[in-house]
Amino acid sequence: MGEDGAVTSAPQCPEGPTPAPRLIATDLDGTLLRDDKSLSPRTIAALAAAEDAGIEVFFVTGRPARWMGVVSDHVHGHGLAICANGAAVVDLHAGPEFVQVRALPREAANSVVQALRAAAPGTSFAVELTTGINYEPEYPPFFQDPGAKVATAEKLLHEDTDDSAAPVLKLLAHHTDLDPDAFLALARSAAGAYASITRSSPTSLLEISGQGVSKASTLALCCAERGITPAEVVAFGDMPNDVEMLSWAGTSYAMGNAHPDVIAAASGRTTANNEDGVAAVIERILAERIAAITAAEQQNA
């Protein structure tokens, strides 16, 4: 295992047929993207082939909408992606444009801040809005967001609280000393009554959403709109913020580099993100579909 508890071996895809899906849901960082944040030519081809075969592909990520440029050219048909761990559905073809927002109430965010300041002194916070991110002076700066406002979380959450205020997508909490999994467990114990708390970073950085908001719950809403059942979904992930989605989907794969909790939640495993583990499964699904169609044609001939 690596320093963050991730499995470093690269297990192969499980044997046996993969159910023919109607939708593929995949995380980005550590899953679809390689460590250099690129999409390999093999992965690009696999995504296009899935869409050509009539299988919808949803990117389901903790990233904010403004960081989706790395994959925006590879969203076909519907153009939608689920961002901020389920707090937003965005149309990447439109800019991106927010289609649905499942906000974290500011009162709940303030309760989380107070609870974590008491339970884990030294915690610093950032506030992710639909308009961008703002953070505390002690919080590790976001160099991709030079326009951020810097102030205490309490002040950031109190400002512009009328109906015109930008919705809070998630609260981020960082600690310099605590173990990442220990920090997550502590935060859920201290503040889990106010919000949904998870993590996707190898560092002690927590992501806090509205109660009941997760990749899984928003993906379920998108699937219900399309008449797609969990059994018709294949999902991929590598970190704790993927666990609910992998548990919900009828077929799910932990990456070869996945966190132990992800491995426990998934129904299968594939190779690591740097080895195109998602593409390998998609290729197999499509090959099995072609084989099934050929067999049916031969039987009916």
Kindly give, in sequence order, each residue whose CB lies less than 8 Å from that of residue 37, ignoring residues fewer than 6 positions away: 29, 70
The reply to whether 197 and 156 lie within a common domain is: yes
Tell me whether residue 18 is in a domain: no
User: Total domain count for the chain?
Assistant: 2
Tell me whether residue 6 is in a domain: no
Among 209, 230, 256, the domain boundary falls at 209
| Residue 125 bridge partners (DSSP) | 173
Tell me whether residue 47 is in a domain: yes
Residue 144 has what pLDDT?
Answer: 65
Kindly give, in sequence order, each residue whose CB lies less than 8 Å from that of residue 300, ignoring residues fewer than 6 positions away: none
pTM for the full predicted model:
0.90
Domain ranges, residue 47: 23-101+214-300
Among 209, 243, 258, the domain boundary falls at 209
How many Cα atoms occupy the beta-carbon half-sphere of 10 within 13 Å? 10
For 202-239, b where at least 16 C-beta lie within 10 A, e where not — what string? Answer: eebbbbbbbeebbbbbbbbebbeeeebebebbbbbbbb
The reply to whether 146 and 57 lie within a common domain is: no
**pLDDT mean for each 10 residues of the chain (301 residues):** 35 52 97 96 96 95 93 84 98 92 97 98 96 93 78 88 79 98 98 98 97 98 97 98 98 98 98 98 94 82 71
Residue 136 has what pLDDT?
Answer: 95
Q: What CATH number did the domain enclosing 256 receive?
A: 3.40.50.1000
